[in-house]
Every structure is written in structure tokens, then in C-alpha cells.
Amino acid sequence: MNDSEIAVSQIALMKQKLHAARTALEDINKDRNDKLKTLIQFIGHLSLACKGQNLELDNKLAKLRHQLHDYEQIDEALPELVDIERILKGQYHHTMTQLEESRLGLARVIRQIQRVNSAPDKVKKEINYFKQDLNKPFHTVWEYIPKVEKLIGFYEEILQQQFTDVDNYDILPQHIQLARELAIKISEIEFRKDQRDQILVMKEVLLGDITLNTLLESYQTILSLLLDNIAREKSASQDFLYALNDALTVVRDVVNNSYNNNERSHQLKQQLNKEINLRVDNAGGIITKVDDLNDLKTQLTVQLSSLRDVLSRKEALEQREQTILRKSIDAMRKELNSITQEANCYKEKLFEHQKLNLLDPLTQLANRTALEDRMDQEYRNHIRFKTPLWIAITDIDHFKSVNDNFGHSTGDKTLQVIAMALKNSLRDSEFVARYGGEEFVLLLPDVTEEHIAALLNRVREKVKNIPFKFKNQRITVTLSIGAAQVMDNETIEEAFERADTALYKAKNNGRDRVVIDI
């Protein structure tokens, strides 16, 4: 083998070694870059784990992630690694200090919880074990978090125990009074037929043994029913106004069309009248100018024919105008009838509502609002005609015992029977109203002082003789009555107060009697 062949052989060998070295270098670089990627991922996860604990550490880690894009930049990142290591050590000591302070804080909280006497016995035992466990120091945050969760669990159990007894709050006298007043108020309000059964049930509940939740729910239910009724009334009013507006729009359109048609007809009539006058003038001119009788006859015949044609067109126009006017009037009459029916229907509803608003729904007597109106009316008559006017206030004796012993539904029936007895005992000119609860007020005009006692005692005896029978038991229901005459230079309210005072005297003097303030 000559020297050139040897050289070629060595060159080939060197090429093989160079290729092998290059391949090995590429593998080393790939392995190095893979490890660098792993390191960058690790730093990223470390940043997430440490985020928020230390602002300087967050910034250093972010800067390090930015620098480590390739292996050659590791040397530049080494100073940052040293700083990061320093910060991590400091953060570790800071965390351990905070964990110790947190452990002491939990110990203080648990001592406060132990002072809650209403805590269940099971919870108290668990708290004692928990307190002993807190004597051991925390080494990581993951030991601290479960302790906090456990402490929260203690709070939840204690609070749950507290709120479980919320319905056991004592019902105070004012709560019972509120329930009774609400029952009276809903008796004075007229509800829709589909609501009355619900109201009756609610009234029975309010007059019985109640809880605080029951009282609050009753107020909420009553408010909802009233708002619903108001919304319905508003909707009905709006519907009527919309119908009225539509009808008035139709009437307006009919009137406008009639006016426009009338204007056009008027213009056509003027034209026809001019044409008629022209034909008449022409006929007059022909008579004056034409001497030949035949020629005159011919020309007049032409003018009369034209005149007849114009009159026919005018008659047709007037007939068309009459037809259009008749249709317009019929359309207006139809719409006006519709409006009248709607108005009458709405008027009846308003009348019924007004009537219901002046009636006590239980007894069907006049209510307190109607009483005030009638008092004003009777007082004006008293001032004007100088006629005597008496006010009598009646109260059912021991009515509470009827409710307590026989139930509130029986009490309601008793009120209804007594109300009818009072109404039937009076003349048409006399007036009785339910004032509230078991009290009734009588307005008695044109009754002399000599006859008032006999009249009121007759009313009292009539009620006393009603054969009430509850649960096969005969019961006598009596009235106490106080009365006063409206005196000169006295308001009717002042007379009412004197009658009320007389009523209290009747009740304090043994009940079932009439006391007249003179």
C-alpha cells in the first residue's frame, strides 16, 4: 500500500470518528437540553407553589424562568440561584414562626369554645382531644390546615345546635297580642272567594297556640294576598281604560270620516246648485230671446232635461250622504253601547267594592269606616234640626270564655247571631255597626231621654234570650251597654267617649246592664 492509499484510508477513518463524535455531541446536547427543560418545569412548579408567600421570591423565580432559555445562560443565572436559595431559607424560618404563632392562636380559640356551655357533650370531648393535640408543634402548613378545618367543624356543630332551637323562643305577650290583632284585621277585610278558606284557616291558627315563625309567615301571607288583590284591581282598571280608549278612537275616526264626507258632499252640492242656477238662468234667457214657439219648446226641453239630470245627481248624492251618515251613526251607537256596557260593569264592580269596604265581612253589619261616615251624617242632622241623638256602645260579656271553651269558629257564629239580633231590634232610621272584636255601636236619632233606657234594655233582653247551645250545653250570652246623648256645644267624638266610659261602668258594676251617662 503506497503513501496515498494510506492517507486516504486515514482520512476515511477520521471522517468516521468525526461523524461519531458529532453524533455523540448531538446526543449530549439533546440530553442536556431535556434536562434543562425539566429544570425549567421544576422552577415553574416551584414558582406556583411559592407564589404569594414572598414578593421578592416571586420576582426572582420569574426572572430565572426568563433567563433559562438555553444551557449557555446557566452561568448568568447562577447568581439568581444563590439569591433564591437565600430567600427560600429565610422564608422557611418565617413560615415556621408563623406556624407556631398560628398554633398558639388555635389554642386560644379552642379555649374560648370550651366556654360555650350549650355545646353538645360529644363536641366537648372532641375539643379536649383537639386541645391536647395542639401541644405538638407544626412542621408544615399541611399540618395546620386540617386543624383549622377541624376547628370550623366545631363551630358548625355548636351553631347548628343553637339554630335548631330557634323555634323554642319564648312567645311573649306582645306576640300573642299581635296575632290576635292580625286575626281581627283579616276579619274586617273582604278577600276573594278563592282566598277565604285560606284566611279562615289562618285565623284559627292566629287565635290558637302560635310560634314566632307562624306569626311571621302569617304576616307574609296576608301581605302577599293583599298585594295580589291590588294588582288584580289595577289590571281590571287598566283593561277598562284600554277598552274605553279603543272605543273612543273608533268614535273619533267615525266622526272624522263623517266630517270629511260631509265636506266633500257640501262641495259637490255647491257645484250642483251652481249648475242648477245656470240651467234656470239659461231657460229664462231662452224665453226672453226666442220668439218662435217650436224653437222655444225645443230649447226649453233641452234645458229641462239637463236640469232634471242635475237634480237626479243631487238626489243621488244626498241619498249616498244619508247612507254614509246612517252607517256612521250606527257604528257610533254600537261603540257607545259597548262603552256604556263596560262602564256599567265597572261601575257595578266599584259599587260592590265600595259596599264591601263598608261592611264587616263576618257579621255583614256596617264596619268602622261606615260608622264614621254615618256619625258625621247624623251629627249634621242633629245640629241642623236640633233633634236628639244618642250613641250606645255594647260589649258581649265574657266573650273570651266562649272562644276559649268552644273554639273561635263558635265565637264567630255567636257574633253573627248577635249582630242580626241587634239589627232586627232597631228601626230603619237607627244604625248599628261592628266597632271591633265583640263591640258594637248604635246610633239612635230622635229618641227622647224618657225612652232611651227602655229601648236599650229591650235590645239587651233580646240578646239575653237567644237560645245559644254549644256542645249540648245551654249558654246565656249577655250584653253590657253604655250610652250618652250628644249635648249642645259638644262634638260627637266627645259624646262617644262618655258612652265608652258608661260602658266600662256597666261592666264594672256586674255586666248585663245598661248605664246611661246623663
Catalytic positions are 438
Joined together, the cell numbers standing for residue 401 give: 270564655
Pairing of strands 479-485, 389-396: antiparallel
Q: Is 446 left (phi over 0), alpha (psi -120 to 50) or beta?
A: left
For the CA atoms of 311, 317, 322, 328, the dihedral, rounded to the nearest 10 degrees, stands at -170
447: burial class by Cβ within 10 Å (0-12, 13-18, 19+)? buried
Helix, strand, coil percentages, rounded to 5, for the chain: 75, 10, 15
In Å, the largest CA–CA distance within the chain is 170
Nearest-angstrom CA–CA distance, 99 and 144? 7
**H-helix segments, 207-292:** 212-289
Residue 403 and residue 470 in contact, taking contact as beta carbons nearer than 8 Å: no
User: Crossing angle for the helix pair 408-424 and 449-464, nearest 10 degrees?
Assistant: 140
Q: Give the rounded distance of the alpha carbon of 374 from its chain centre.
A: 35
Cα→Cα distances 18→7, 14, 113, 306, Å? 16, 6, 78, 131
d(CA 505, CA 482): 8
> Scanning the structure block, which residue is given the C-alpha cell 244619508?
322
205 CB-side CA count, 13 A:
18
Mode of pairing for the β-strands spanning 468-470 and 389-396: unpaired
What H or E segment, with its residue span, contains residue 419? helix 408-424
| Contact criterion met (CB below 8 Å) for 307 and 273 | no
Q: Can you read off the three cell numbers belonging to residue 134?
A: 395542639
Residues 454 and 481: their CA atoms lie apart, in Å, by 12
Secondary structure class of 367 (helix, strand, coil)? coil
Query: Cβ of 501: how many Cβ atoms within 10 Å?
Result: 14
DSSP calls for 10-68: HHHHHHHHHHHHHHHHHHHHHHHHHHHHHHHHHHHHHHHHHTTT-HHHHHHHHHHHHHT
> What are residue 482's phi and psi, to 5 degrees?
-120, 135
The DSSP code for 357 is H
